[in-house]
A and B are shown apart, each in its own frame.
Chain A
Amino acid sequence: MNQFIKKSLIFLFLIILTTFLLNKFQSIYNNEQIHFRYKYQEIFNNKVNSKYLFLGSSQVVHSINPQIINLDNQRNSYNFAFNGANPKYFDDFYNIFIKQFYKEPDVIILGVESFLFDTTILQNKIEFDSEYFDKNLMYEFVTSNKYEEYNLYTTDLIINYFPILKYRKDFKYSLRLNRGNPDYKKEKYQLGFMPYNRILNEYSKKRFFSNVNINKEQVKYFKRFLNQLKQENKKVVILYCPELNPDENHFRNEKTVKIINDLANNYNFPVLNYNLEFISEINSDETLFSDWGHMNEKGSQIFSKKLSSDLKKLGL
């Protein structure tokens, strides 16, 4: 019996060691979004300490370069947009991270899309970022009820905290021994901005979805978030980043767009829609896009300059 227990414990130790080594391996060589890690580092380390924030999803991540925005008017902006972010994500991120660990912002440029409330397209959750969380914060999430109101799933938090669990199905990418996602070059990361360069083809020029769903919960979170920003007297701008050859009808009539614009009007937040009122030659220039909805590095430079100038006209 003693021999059995001894050998079982040794084997268990071997499994734990293997797990630990694989966890380390996958944290280095997984298919991660390296800019997520850097943004959370900024949250916890406050190096830039910006009061001028960009929030949104991948369109904002890849289109807005704060380095260029900051050249004008000596702003100190930071791009806190995250791929796949939806209104609940903004709400959670703002309240759990910005308000607790970062400087209280004065200006928030909130990137939106005509599919903002469709959780089959914008699927991200704060729980999926637990890999980048501070250990103490993680401990609080799991053990205390301090964050109960945010309805975060503890299981998701734990699974995503360990790269070996989070990237279980992406192990083959780890075997490529590329640090991070090949689409994102970490040396090009700047103040939250991550360029996204891909060659445009016939398929990527068109939207990959035709119908847009509206998740009522996401609408509620969006209303709540805007209301909170209004209560806190933040200067807010609603921004639609440019898309390649956008359908004008779509941006006029899509229900999501109507909800967003109505709310913006309600709270007197200006709307910069670069697919409708502010459409320009940028939208038809294929050399500025990686796909139908995301600008490439060259496109982001041109757009960031234009945006900076337009924000200046708004007094921001």
Chain B
Amino acid sequence: MSAEAIHSGKTDWQRIRGDFPVLDQEAHGKPLAFLDSAASSQMPEAVLNRIIAYQHKEHANIHRGVHLLSQRATDAFEDARHVVAEHIGCEDREVIFVRGATEGINLVTHGYGRKFLKEGDEVIITTMEHHANIVPWQMLREEKGIVLKIVPITDDGRVELDAFEAAFTEKTAFASVIHVSNTLGTINPVKEMCEIAHRKGVPILVDGCQAAPHMALDMNDVGADFYVFSGHKMCGPTGAGVLFGRAEHLKRMNPFMGGGDMILSVTFEKTTYNEIPHKFEAGTPAIMPVVGLAAAIRYLNEIGLERIAHRENELVTLALAKLRAMKGVRIFGPDGHRAPVISFGIDDVHPHDIGTILDQNGVAIRAGHHCTQPLMKRLGVPATARASFAFYNTEADVDALVNGIQAVQEIFG
């Protein structure tokens, strides 16, 4: 990629956009303005090329074969683990590859929850959680009789630390919170939340799906016991995500799935589980997506996550200013600093109709409940329209959004 663009002092975002072939096309005869990266981001050529090179020269099953390709594939896979570990500041063995954040959370409710939580134990989550951080705990509630405690949020969609701390009781046994709201863009003070949890002696999981694409992460700084994110939201392919877990927890936990690769020895009488992280990686993993995820992390780091965050903040600030100036447009979420996600509504127009009309204008957004139905209920709406930005978006995409909203208002005027 654009090494030149990066080292030339001022970042050439237009050239960086050129790294993403998918963006160079029309949708319904209009230039594509892709504003749905919070659902799934796009892959740059550097990632696509790495995937092709891997499949051309290196692919075989890992951790098994004695032959050359098996060794190359194993090296590529374990190198990816090292890339992730360096990126988030942890040990290699604390990186578990999963399909995505959803699987990561389910691994924890199974591996930790089923083993260590018991009837009456309380698990704290917040009102703004994604369904992926609600449903697995409800399934555990059915099985074990745990109690879910929901931390309320403010009208502008924030979790206050006092409210979070007030949810803890003597029975609190776990906390699980979202880092950045996929619906509102709220950036939660997870470092302080982890400090509170630890002061109470409670382990805490942080769902970092919407944080990992937009900010540098250091597990020592965040302080979470578990942290999950998905590769496909940070320029990698679908099918690979990460569960970070502190080694001391991972060692004590039950495996998630049983099968090949997660064992040291198997007889019909007894099986000895493998060491971490392999204990949690039963079966042949998604090798190619994991290799692609490592390439995506390298790509993001080449640009620099601080620069990315700065650029995305420029775009979201511009979009917020333009949308706020429009009559009849309602914006959800905090006034202050937020991730590049804007949930909005237009007076007397259902979000689904907004989505269809924007689509016909070349603008891809998401309309619906964003897998946060309890949050929708709290906001008092059945659904919202959501525009989400990445560093490869441009000011022209913001204009396309504004023009599209005007088209909606004209039709429904």
Query: Are both chains from one complex?
Result: no
Which A residues form the contact surface with B (CB < 8 A)? none
